[in-house]
């Protein structure tokens, strides 16, 4: 088995060197097609590998081989190199505390960080350096998501995690299957599709809907119509996983499109938002008569929910504030490079938070003040780069693309502020970071004709 995977990884590395776009498409399709928590592959130093991670190993080998060849032939892209090395250094910092447990734990942590975070970032950084290439990536994110939307609707109608049960029958993964058993909210299944956790599915559909909306604003005629219809479908289906964070992110993301978008996009969004808000307010009395999850949430947002309903809705927000406060305190008083994880039985302080639902706090617990600070600094750099891209393109035909990437960044940050790592949407978030940082970055490497 190990020998077969070595051949597979060598083949993926070779394909990366010769057919980069093909490998990129395979990597993108692995996100919606295979659950991240379905881990049918296991090795001594790398137990429980998902399909995405298997593909990432091959791509990582290809990137290393490419860098060695470029270095030997003196054509290494020196402008892109600092963007690579900064993230690689951050991955190492996030892994230092794991070496205190054992050498194998430290090496495993570095490899997982590279597979989960650096590979999607580095791959896009190398391929999506122009508006045309970024739009191609957005297409391969948006259109496959329609299939997941259909599956999500089917799971909601049947109230059964059809895809998840099928994958577990195909290759059971032990306790993980029990961990991600179907969960219910207000007596309805929070649908999972292939994502294994509803909150990641909600953010994925919102993100894909925004990608389709961005593509529509850059198209014309029938293509624009189909892109807008796909966007509407994805955004409507995104409410079925019952994830409040993704609903808020959707509203904020669309508001950014309204604020920063071009004239035509701006007026279209303004009309849609105004009409939706008026209808929502006029029908608030109707919503009061429905005892459902989303009606309580919407009524709380517009201030029309009874006091007991508002208290129940705000309990989640208060709980996350408690997690944030406790987590920051642990990070400040903890080791400089973190605990190497959270929930460590040897360190009672880390048990204060039993479920870290904020990725930023998770980073701080694992990698300490240094890792937390470097991550915040890196995200600040990405945000500044996104604003720089928007300012550069706001008077060009790519204004909507720059606005879409900026809004997408907000959705990613909302996801990381309301969920822990890992999960497919985490990797898509790093893909977006690569798009923002890599756009308009020179590539001195001479590409093969097949990649032209």
Residue where the block lists tokens 């459902």 = 292
CB of 360 closer than 8 Å to CB of 415: no
Per-residue HEC secondary structure of 349-400 comes to HHHCCCCCCCHHHHHHHHHHHHHHHHHHHHHHHHHHHHHHHHHHHCCCCCHH
Render each residue's pLDDT in the chain as its tens digit; 452 residues: 677 888 999 999 999 999 999 999 999 999 999 988 888 888 777 777 889 999 999 999 999 999 898 888 888 777 888 889 999 999 999 988 888 777 877 888 899 899 999 999 999 999 988 999 999 999 999 999 999 999 999 998 898 889 988 888 887 776 565 666 677 877 788 888 988 788 899 999 999 999 998 898 888 888 888 888 888 889 888 988 888 888 889 888 888 887 777 665 666 566 656 665 676 666 666 555 545 777 777 777 767 777 777 777 777 778 788 888 888 888 888 888 887 754 444 444 444 445 678 889 888 888 889 999 999 999 999 999 999 999 998 888 888 899 999 999 999 999 999 888 877 899 999 999 999 999 987 554 444 433 44
Residue 50 counted as domain residue: no
CB of 200 closer than 8 Å to CB of 423: yes
Residue 189 counted as domain residue: yes
Residue 79 counted as domain residue: no
Residue 191, Cβ density class (10 Å: 0-12 exposed, 13-18 middle, ≥19 buried): buried
Tell me if the bond preceding 422 is cis, omega within 30° of 0: yes
Residue 254 counted as domain residue: yes
Q: Residue 191: which region, alpha, beta or left (left: phi > 0; alpha: psi -120 to 50)?
A: beta
Residue 100 counted as domain residue: no
pLDDT of residue 414: 92
State which residues form the domain around 341. Answer: 122-451
Q: Domain tally for the chain?
A: 1
Residue 276 counted as domain residue: yes
pLDDT of residue 446: 40
93, 131, 335 from 331: Cα distances, Å:
15, 40, 8
pLDDT of residue 123: 94
CB of 237 closer than 8 Å to CB of 229: no
Residue 26 counted as domain residue: no
Number of other residues whose CB lies within 10 A of the CB of residue 363 = 23
Q: Which residues contact 40 (CB under 8 A, 6 or more apart)?
A: 51, 170, 171, 173
Q: What is the pTM of this model?
A: 0.88
CA angle, corner 353, sides to 350 and 355, nearest 5? 120
Residue 70 counted as domain residue: no
């Amino acid at each position: 088995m190990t020998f077969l995977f070595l051949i597979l990884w060598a083949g993926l590395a070779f394909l990366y060197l010769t057919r980069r776009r093909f490998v990129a498409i395979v990597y993108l399709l692995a996100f919606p097609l295979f659950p991240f928590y379905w881990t049918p592959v296991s090795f001594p130093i790398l137990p429980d590998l998902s399909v995405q991670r298997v593909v990432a190993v091959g791509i990582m080998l290809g990137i290393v081989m490419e860098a060695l060849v470029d270095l030997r032939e003196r054509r290494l892209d020196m402008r892109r190199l600092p963007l690579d090395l900064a993230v690689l250094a951050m991955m190492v910092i996030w892994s230092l505390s794991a070496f205190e447990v054992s050498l194998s734990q430290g090496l495993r942590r570095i490899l997982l960080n590279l597979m989960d975070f650096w590979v999607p970032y580095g791959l896009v950084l190398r391929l999506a350096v122009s508006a045309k290439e970024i739009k191609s990536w957005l297409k391969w994110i948006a259109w496959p998501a329609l299939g997941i939307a259909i599956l999500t609707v089917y799971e909601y109608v049947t109230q059964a995690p059809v895809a998840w049960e099928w994958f577990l029958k195909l290759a059971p993964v032990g306790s993980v299957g029990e961990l991600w058993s179907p969960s219910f909210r207000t007596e309805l299944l929070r649908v999972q599709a292939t994502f294994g956790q509803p909150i990641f599915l909600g953010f994925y559909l919102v993100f894909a809907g925004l990608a389709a909306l961005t593509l529509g604003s850059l198209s014309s005629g029938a293509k624009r119509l189909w892109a807008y219809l796909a966007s509407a479908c994805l955004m409507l289906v995104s409410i079925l996983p019952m994830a409040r964070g993704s609903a808020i992110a959707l509203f904020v993301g669309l508001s950014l499109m309204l604020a920063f978008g071009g004239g035509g996009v701006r007026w279209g969004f303004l009309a849609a938002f105004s009409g939706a808000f008026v209808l929502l307010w006029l029908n608030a009395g109707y919503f009061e008569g429905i005892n459902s999850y989303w009606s309580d949430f919407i009524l709380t947002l517009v201030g029309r929910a009874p006091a007991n309903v508002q208290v129940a809705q705000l309990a989640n927000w208060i709980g996350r504030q408690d997690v944030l406060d406790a987590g920051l305190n642990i990070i400040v008083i903890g080791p400089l490079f973190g605990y190497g994880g959270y929930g460590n039985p040897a360190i009672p302080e880390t048990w204060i938070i039993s479920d870290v639902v904020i990725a930023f706090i998770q980073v701080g617990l694992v990698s300490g003040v240094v890792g937390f600070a470097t991550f915040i600094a890196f995200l600040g750099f990405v945000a500044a780069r996104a604003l720089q891209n928007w300012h550069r393109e706001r008077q060009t035909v790519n204004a909507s693309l720059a606005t879409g990437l900026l809004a997408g960044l907000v959705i990613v940050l909302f996801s990381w502020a309301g969920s822990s790592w890992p999960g497919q949407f985490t990797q898509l978030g790093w893909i977006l970071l690569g798009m923002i940082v890599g756009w308009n970055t020179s590539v001195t490497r001479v590409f093969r004709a097949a990649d032209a």
